[in-house]
Structure 1
Amino acid sequence: MRALLVVNPAATTTSARTRDVLIHALASEMKLEAVTTEYRGHARDLGRLAAQSDDIDLVVALGGDGTVNEVVNGLLHAGPAPDHLPGLAVVPGGSTNVFARALGLPNDPVEATGALLDALRDGRERTVGLGLTSGTPGTEDEAVPSRWFLFNAGLGFDAGVVGRVEQHREQGKRSTHALYVRQAMRQFFGDPHRRHGTIVLEREGAEPVTGLVLSIVCNTAPWTYLGNRPVYASPKASFDTGLDVLGLSRLSTPAVARYVTQLLLSSPERGPQGRHAVSLHDLTRFTLHSKAPLPLQMDGDHLGLRTSVTFTGVRRALRVIV
């Protein structure tokens, strides 16, 4: 087997020595080419080259969710073809690693490498569904390029929090849960739309859902992790179904306190509920519109402002070694 290892040297939970150990362990089992990313988007370019190659069987992403997202967007640049494209393997190296943990992989990179080698020896893999976003025809965002996401996306409040965190990371601050909490509070008090939402969800065959302040799109559960605690925004979400949506139409102080508590106490059986909460399961295609431009995030990556985004759940999009 020939494999390409895409290494993010800025991965927050791996040192240079650890990465060298992992590379030697993988190279002992396969013909391995390791490439270190040098710029934003480099992992996507490497994934694309692997997809166009005739002799690469596997792409291993060593890094956080952002690195994995880039690799996947490169692999699927021409669309999904699970039986003909290289498979994907993940060695978690970020601060949260939602995708790897949702697949059942250990959060420790050394243990995850051992699990990956066991899976390769045993021939274990699964084909997972992914989310795809695109510009909505007839809107000013029509020309926005399509982009794949692995586990979640968001338009509105949560994307604003992600954007604030990215600004601080660019200034050299580490991505910690405390940083997210601080920026969530600042986003809450600075959001002019938190009492009167501008987001409308439209899907074929159903009445529009209007007045949303927050819209979280999930492709799997949990939505994220707080340390070792999983958080379930849409408990029924799965890599084997379409997309799930949690929408909130009010973010007053009492409402936020209630929904944050529900998220902290969420489980695979129960997520946030209430008169201002909308939960939709297994959607194939829908569009989120907003009268005012709102921030968009995918897999924890802030993508700027949008007024309209179309989401598609694509089943059986990618082979993953697990």
Structure 2
Amino acid sequence: MHQEVERHLRVEVHVPKSYVIPTSACARYHPVGTLQLMRALLVVNPAATTTSARTRDVLIHALASEMKLEAVTTEYRGHARDLGRQAAESTDIDLVVALGGDGTVNEVVNGLLHAGPDPRRLPGLAVVPGGSTNVFARALGLPNDAVEATGALLDALRQGSERTVGLGLASGTPGTEDEAVPARWFTFNAGLGFDAGVVGRVEQQRERGRKSTHALYVRQALRQFFGEAHRRHGTITLERPDVEPVTDLVLSIVSNTSPWTFLGNHPMYASPKASFDKGLDVLGLSRMTTTAVARYGTQLLTSSPERGPHGKHAVSLHDLDRFTLHSKVPLPLQMDGDHLGLRTSVTFTGVRRALRVIV
């Protein structure tokens, strides 16, 4: 256990239920590394699956001992987004720390960037992983353990270690029935079709009280596969300016980084070349028969940073700035592991250097 966190283990800290971010005329930014001057907002998801209330209190105290910290526990879906937006609009917050899973991080990011990216003006982002998978934090190279990650965060802040990462932006396509759908940022991946259907099934099970485990995902993936009406002939078309469209896709995974996800401690690389420093990557499959799923599923399980799924029915595209996915029928959409309902058309944009993160 990291010593900077361990020394606070016997301290109980009260986390206020609500917090109104103050505003003032003072400058927002203090250079990373000057911890005692730094003003931070900690957004805590109390439903985070891998952190107990006592662990969260310990982490809060460890952070509060090093900087000017205010903490708030989220109370409803979208609360983290609202807090991120308040932080972006205030002049008193230098850093927002998200303690939770990928969904909490996504909400905070969408709040911070509600008026668009501006890394020099906006607060930086730090992540303490508390979810079941924590793809964004792990893709940044952070430990998957919340205590270790807090220690690493404090070290990074002292050393002034940060990077500016690219993000994905998904929006309704002009001239379609989805054109009025609000744009939304994502940090590591999005999907239209099969994988989003799996995410939706998992969310339904969690609402019924099931725990988010890897076994649950596997079971729901099998149910989605056998219930997939278009697995032999896909309905998705990928369109790019001045390029021949890619048609008849059953599955489309959009990646902003690699790996795509983790199965326990095992990384899975849908688009091995995807990077926070480049545009977006796409993996598309045009066939999902039993044979095809066995082949590509095995390739995904054995994938590496050098090689992902490949073959006759696989399409891999790298470093795209902008493209649109159209479907002949409404299909489920997910971003960063959150199910967002059904869509027929989504336009994706890779936005480079969108957000400062502490690493």
TM-score normalised by structure 2 residue count = 0.90
Alpha-carbon deviations, 1:157-216, whole Å to 9, x = none?
000000000000001100101000000000000010111100000001210000000000
Matching residue of 1:33: 70
3-state SS of paired residue (2:327): strand
For 2:246, the aligned partner's letter is: V
Partners of 1:144 and 1:83 in 2: how far apart? Answer: 28
Partners of 1:168 and 1:136 in 2: how far apart? Answer: 31
3-state SS of paired residue (1:207): strand
3-state SS of paired residue (1:107): coil
For 2:245, the aligned partner's letter is: P
3-state SS of paired residue (2:291): helix
Return the offset for 1:254: 0.4
Q: 2:47 aligns with which of 10, 13, 36?
A: 10
Partners of 1:133 and 1:264 in 2: how far apart? Answer: 27
Q: 1:122 aligns with which of 159, 164, 170?
A: 159
For 1:185, the aligned partner's letter is: L
Return the offset for 1:55: 1.1
Q: 1:198 aligns with which of 235, 250, 254?
A: 235
| Equivalent residue runs for 1:142-291 within 5 Å | 142-291=179-328
Number of equivalent positions = 322
Structure 1: stretches of 5+ with no match in the other structure = none
Return the offset for 1:82: 0.1
Partners of 1:188 and 1:147 in 2: how far apart? Answer: 27
3-state SS of paired residue (1:183): helix
For 1:153, the aligned partner's letter is: A
Q: CA RMSD in A?
A: 0.3
Partners of 1:194 and 1:162 in 2: how far apart? Answer: 17
For 1:296, the aligned partner's letter is: L
TM-score normalised by structure 1 residue count = 1.00
Partners of 1:124 and 1:45 in 2: how far apart? Answer: 27
| Percent identity of equivalent pairs | 88
Q: Which runs of 4+ in 1 moved over 4 A?
A: none
3-state SS of paired residue (1:208): strand
Partners of 1:185 and 1:321 in 2: how far apart? Answer: 38
For 2:218, the aligned partner's letter is: V
3-state SS of paired residue (2:92): coil
Partners of 1:248 and 1:268 in 2: how far apart? Answer: 20
Larger radius of gyration between Structure 1 and Structure 2: 2
Return the offset for 1:301: 0.2
Return the offset for 1:66: 0.1
Return the offset for 1:45: 0.1
For 1:47, the aligned partner's letter is: G
For 2:230, the aligned partner's letter is: H
Matching residue of 1:61: 98
| Equivalent residue runs for 1:302-313 within 5 Å | 302-313=339-350
3-state SS of paired residue (2:171): strand
3-state SS of paired residue (1:67): helix
Partners of 2:49 and 2:247 in 1: how far apart? Answer: 39
